Structure 1
Amino acid sequence: MSILHRISGLLLFVSLPFLLYLLDQSLTSEISFDSFKGFLANPLVKIVVLVLSWSFLFHFCAGIRFLLLDTHRAVSKEGGKQTSIVVLAVSSLLTIVVALKLFGAF
């Protein structure tokens, strides 16, 4: 769990300049927003966005888990295993919801 938390944090850190650039471009004008929408229509870009969404959601859920561990809740081996399963399940479900929305299911 710890290594996945570090990997997701690294993905977020490395992608931050790119995401800030895209945010800046999308807020500049209506024309740049339309070009951003066209850029996001590419399936490869959607997959990259999905990976970054998983990274954010997993990092967020794992961060909450580590905060709970810092307050000495579920510190046992069994408690740690259960909370790691919960983190994987919740972040996976949230990522599936994002994927459905991203690829137009609803």
Structure 2
Amino acid sequence: MTELASKQRPKRPEFRNINALTDLPGYRLPLAGIVSILHRVSGALMFILMPFIIWMFDTSISSEISFEKFKAAFNVGLLGLPGVLWKLVALALIWAYLHHFIAGLRHLWMDASHEAVSKDFGRQSAAFTLAVSIGLTLVLGAKLFGLY
């Protein structure tokens, strides 16, 4: 009986040596995996752009003149780059912070609660993390670009 059952089921592929060019494009990463990777990307983005964050903070609070220079960087431009590019960098930082913060809370919740470690919770919390971080980024991006 077991021989008959094993003959009827198709054999699952066995991967011993994974070829990144042929095997990985066919792999479907679950939503929780995408959120986990984006959590790392957002942390790296914030770390890499730390000098820009420090410059923004320092320039915005030093004096009224430096604050006007700060506003001009986003309106007119700075270092030969248009202001819209600086706004896009700031928008990337806004997304990185929001996503990293919300995904971090998700990971803390999963560490603290044994009920939260399930496939269903992982999928739901990943969808919530993406929806909230992207939604808040759109709202704050609209404010950054002067839509309201």
Asked if these proteins are the same fold (TM beyond 0.5), I'd say yes
Q: Which runs of at least 4 in structure 1 moved beyond 3 Å after TM superposition?
A: none
Please state if 1:19 is matched with 2:61: no
Residue in 2 that maps onto 1:80:
122
CA contact (8 A) 2:59 2:69 kept: no
Q: Using the alignment, how far apart are the partners of 2:115 and 2:73 within structure 1?
A: 44
User: How far is 1:95 from its partner?
Assistant: 0.4
Cα-Cα RMSD: 1.1
Aligned pairs for 1:61-80 (under 5 A) are 61-71=102-112, 72-80=114-122
Residue in 2 that maps onto 1:8:
42
- In structure 2, the gaps of 5 or more residues are 1-34, 76-82
**Residue in structure 1 matching 2:136, options 91, 94, 101:** 94
User: How far is 1:13 from its partner?
Assistant: 1.1
Q: How many residues align?
A: 106
| Aligned residue identity for 2:44 | L
SS of equivalent to 1:105:
coil
Identity %: 49
Once the two structures are superposed, what CA deviation does each residue of 1:22-59 show, in whole Å capped at 9, x if it has no partner? 21122222111101100012111111111110000000
Structure with larger RCO (C-alpha < 8 A, sep 6+): 1
TM-score, length-normalised on structure 2? 0.68
Please state if 1:55 is matched with 2:96: yes
Q: Using the alignment, how far apart are the partners of 1:68 and 1:56 within structure 2?
A: 18
- In structure 1, the gaps of 5 or more residues are none
TM-score, length-normalised on structure 1? 0.93
